Amino acid sequence: MKLQTLSTNKSHGGVQGVYSHASAETGTEMAFSVFVPDHAPGAKLPVLWYLSGLTCTHANVTEKGEYRAACAEHGIIFVAPDTSPRGDDVPDDDGYDFGKGAGFYVDATKEPWAKNFRMRSYLESELPELVAASFPVDMARQGITGHSMGGHGALTISLRNPGRFRSTSAFSPIVSPLNCSWGEKALGGYIGTDRDDWRQYDACALIADGARLPDLLVDQGTADNFLGEQLKTHLLEQAVADAGISATIRMQDGYDHSYYFISTFLVEHVGWHAQRLKA
């Protein structure tokens, strides 16, 4: 897989880059950003994956996340992929919550989405292989986090791949697509109407079906206008309590769904992951 460098900038002693490659999974050109902190020659560093939310690209967290100083301090590589395939030939929808920018981190099985919308396989297989071959990462020390739809992606990818990630966190995650209109539209459209097929993409259902995490950190703003109808944090609180999963789920007073909220707590999340990735 040939990697093309779109841009590089020095930041906090390291390099913030944006790259692209031709994806075999999505059949499109895919862009992603990587921050590599300064490090000793030959050193391998832990990696933290960040999955973005609806309508976003890699650029949102790269430009607004304020994570680089913390990653430089802790010696962590930060990777931010896109949220969906893109291109003139990729099918789309008029709504912001389906199609381009709304891949929901699933492998679509329904037409016309099945050809390109393979974000699960892209993130669980193809992109990690490319990152491992191109950057100084220690793939035995991976963490994953994300926001909103990306929080859903981080939780479900980690739950489906036990032992791959030493640490998992999320910001304002969609915790149960089975129980919100965003999830019903996305999963129904991408993989069909059989709700049993949806369970592999629902964090609460995966936990109920036996999937486990060693630890979990979630931050959710109380002023988030999507909290009641789409995010439903209380369902995750109940799921982890029933399963006996060690989890810190914090309701942050007055914070909304924006990057003002994410950037406030992302440094703390990086430090939380660092403790587990360096152990």
Q: Is pTM beyond 0.95 here?
A: yes
Within a domain: 167: yes
The confidence score (pLDDT) of residue 263 equals: 98
Number of independent structural domains in the chain:
1
Q: What is the pLDDT of residues 71-114, one digit of tens each?
A: 999 999 999 999 999 999 999 999 999 999 999 999 999 999 99
Identified catalytic residue from 58, 147, 152, 257: 257
Read off the CATH number of the domain in which 109 is found.
3.40.50.1820
Within a domain: 22: no
The yes-or-no verdict on residue 202 having pLDDT over 80 is: yes
- 224 in catalytic set: yes
The yes-or-no verdict on residue 1 having pLDDT over 80 is: no
Identified catalytic residue from 148, 167, 172, 176: 148
The confidence score (pLDDT) of residue 45 equals: 98
Mean pLDDT over each residue of the chain, to the nearest integer: 98
Domain enclosing residue 160, as ranges: 47-278
Identified catalytic residue from 58, 74, 224, 273: 224
Alpha-carbon gap, residue 110 to 122, rounded angstroms: 17
Within a domain: 61: yes
Phi/psi of residue 162, nearest 5 degrees: -60, 135
- 209 in catalytic set: no
Alpha-carbon gap, residue 227 to 181, rounded angstroms: 12
Percent with pLDDT over 70 in the chain: 99
The confidence score (pLDDT) of residue 167 equals: 98
Q: What is the pLDDT of residues 124-168, one digit of tens each?
A: 999 999 999 999 999 999 999 999 999 999 999 999 999 999 999
